[in-house]
Amino acid sequence: MIEHTVQIPEERIVILDFGSQYTQLIARRIRDLQVYAEIVPYYYPVEDIAKEKPVAIILSGGPSSTYEKNAPHAAAEIFSLNIPILGICYGLYQVVRAFNGSIDRASFKEYGRAMIDIKGSSPLFKGMDRREQVWMSHGDKVVSPPAGFAVVASSENAEIAAIENREKKVYGVQFHPEVYHTVKGNKILGNFLFEVCGLRPSWNMRSFIESSVESIRKEVGDGAVLLGLSGGVDSSVTAVLLQKAIGSRLFCVFVNNGVLRKNEHEQVVERFKKHMKLNLIYVDASARFLKKLKGVENPEKKRRIIGREFIKVFMEEARKIGKFDFLAQGTLYPDVIESVSTKGPSDTIKSHHNRVPEVLKLIKSGRVIEPLKELFKDEVRELGRVLGMPGEIINRQPFPGPGLAIRIIGAVTPERIRILQEADDIVVREIKEAGLYNDLWQIFAVYLPVKSVGVMGDSRTYENVIAIRGVTSVDAMTADWAYLPEPVLRKISNRIINEIKGINRVVYDISSKPPSTIEWE
């Protein structure tokens, strides 16, 4: 069965993941339309999906060609569940294959913007113009639709750009309605949900809070919960939600791992212990973490070391408290999907500190509560707003669990931490001063152990480099580098070079995600 941390609405969409980089966007767009959607791998047992009673199934895109030897395919039984189905790109080919249509390699691969011509009056395109801009990404094509299917859209390079069998409520599109470049993509998905499936928008943060509180109380009973609180958005919202559910039986442990931002430990204690009245336990384990990280350069090793050490600290504090029944984490949906390939055939992008072996063992034992693991970042911010949390917390930019350890390229040393803390503090302060902080998804400094020649006064210097990374994004699945005003960049650069010993050069990162990631490690 599909495992959930909280009670999930009865009306839900199941997305079968065939490995597309856009699969999470499908879920995100559907949730924008106030319908709950969840992702499972394409090979997930049909009988388990049927037990969940989804209202409809969406077949995602994927990087494979239908002609590859080990190409993933949907189980034939999926199409016998008698519920609406929408196939997207590779998912379209699964529909065509299941109903005995024909597919071939395209003469020309098609990537990017394209115009489709809509034919007839398909409910999928209700309320749309006859000609619309979409986003294509495919190397195969549908040669002839299955019997009983009508062609309802075409493009210059894809004569069969969309098909439908209105009687069976099965649809397929060659393009990606979930990406922003498909101008009316949300309209298409909305038509599938409301016109084809007959759903109503009913999933929102207030209903999520109600179901979460009920589910947490039921799971925890009279037990106690230990939460690792970092002071970031995810763990802070988790803390407030848990406090609402179980009150004083929540114990929050804030660990200073030595790679926090400048003065962060003081700010977190002030905010959560004095003002929010949480049961907050502060642990200064900075020396312990830095000893473990000494000489480690591989970013994955850094993540694992920090994740494991956190668990050890938690357990030690738990013994001091006396007894706790559950460990809570602020894990989000992208954390789960990006860490391991259990959601589909997509490659693992990075491991997550909430998914190290020690935590996975606790998860399997049923002793971990992750009330946000079905949510995306912007949904967590909305949840915080509905819970009445202050803007300074819920609008805080993401900060990685391993902290500055993965923003220091190479080995982590006390001197490099000091330099990066000072540089990052200058960056954030100047961005806030310029009124740009809330316009950016993230902006931060990265320490590069790359020596370059400089001139300061009448002397030559041979010092290191600070890179500035600023991006705009909606959900961190994709991100564009942020264009910042020249005076702001100039001031940041001047301050870093003039005020921080050991840095004589500042560079600005102008790469987007993909192909780059937001973080450098």
At 342 the pLDDT is: 39
Give CA–CA dist 219/117, Å, rounded: 52
Beta strand 12-17 with 56-59: parallel, antiparallel or unpaired? parallel
At 460 the pLDDT is: 72
Respond yes or no: is residue 265 known to be catalytic. Answer: no
Nearest 5°: phi and psi at 250? -95, 125
Q: Alpha helices, DSSP H only, in 229-376? A: 233-246, 264-269, 286-293, 299-321, 333-339, 357-364
Marked catalytic residue, from 89, 252, 379, 521: 89
Give CA–CA dist 62/44, Å, rounded: 16
pTM: 0.71
Taking alpha carbons only, the member of 33, 60, 84, 345 closest to residue 176 is 60
Cα→Cα distances 176→88, 130, 163, 183, 212, Å: 6, 18, 14, 10, 32
E strand map for 51-101: 56-59, 85-88
Marked catalytic residue, from 11, 38, 132, 178: 178
Residue labelled with tokens 């070079």: 497
Query: In degrees to the nearest 10, what's the CA dihedral of 446, 449, 454, 457?
Result: 80
Taking alpha carbons only, the member of 174, 191, 31 closest to residue 91 is 174
At 466 the pLDDT is: 96
Beta bridge partners of residue 447, listed in sequence order: 408, 466
Cβ–Cβ under 8 Å, residues 500 and 461: no
What's the angle, vertex CA 365, arms to CA 363 and CA 369, rounded to 5?
Answer: 45
Kindly state the tokens that stand for 437: 């902080």
Taking alpha carbons only, the member of 198, 197, 200, 145 closest to residue 173 is 145
At 352 the pLDDT is: 47
pLDDT one digit per residue (tens) for the chain, 521 residues: 445 555 555 688 999 999 888 888 899 899 999 999 989 899 999 999 999 899 999 999 998 888 888 899 999 999 999 999 999 999 999 999 999 999 887 766 667 888 999 998 999 999 999 999 998 887 788 999 999 999 999 988 888 999 999 999 999 999 999 988 899 999 999 999 999 999 999 888 888 899 899 999 999 999 999 888 888 899 999 999 999 999 989 999 899 999 999 999 998 888 887 667 788 889 999 999 999 999 999 999 999 999 899 888 878 887 887 777 888 888 887 776 554 443 445 444 444 445 455 555 554 545 888 899 888 888 899 999 999 998 888 888 988 889 999 999 999 999 999 999 999 999 999 999 999 999 999 999 999 999 888 876 667 777 899 999 999 987 777 789 999 999 999 999 999 999 999 999 999 999 999 889 899 99
Kindly state the tokens that stand for 132: 């619309």
Respond yes or no: is residue 178 known to be catalytic. Answer: yes
At 346 the pLDDT is: 46
CB atoms within 10 A of CB 180: 13
Kindly state the tokens that stand for 405: 């350890």
Supply the DSSP symbol for 476. Answer: S
Burial class of residue 81 (count of CB atoms within 10 Å of its CB; 0-12, 13-18, 19+): middle
Give CA–CA dist 67/55, Å, rounded: 31
At 261 the pLDDT is: 94
At 348 the pLDDT is: 45
At 419 the pLDDT is: 97
Give CA–CA dist 150/128, Å, rounded: 18
Respond yes or no: is residue 89 known to be catalytic. Answer: yes
Kindly state the tokens that stand for 179: 């990406």
At 202 the pLDDT is: 86
Marked catalytic residue, from 11, 38, 164, 176: 176
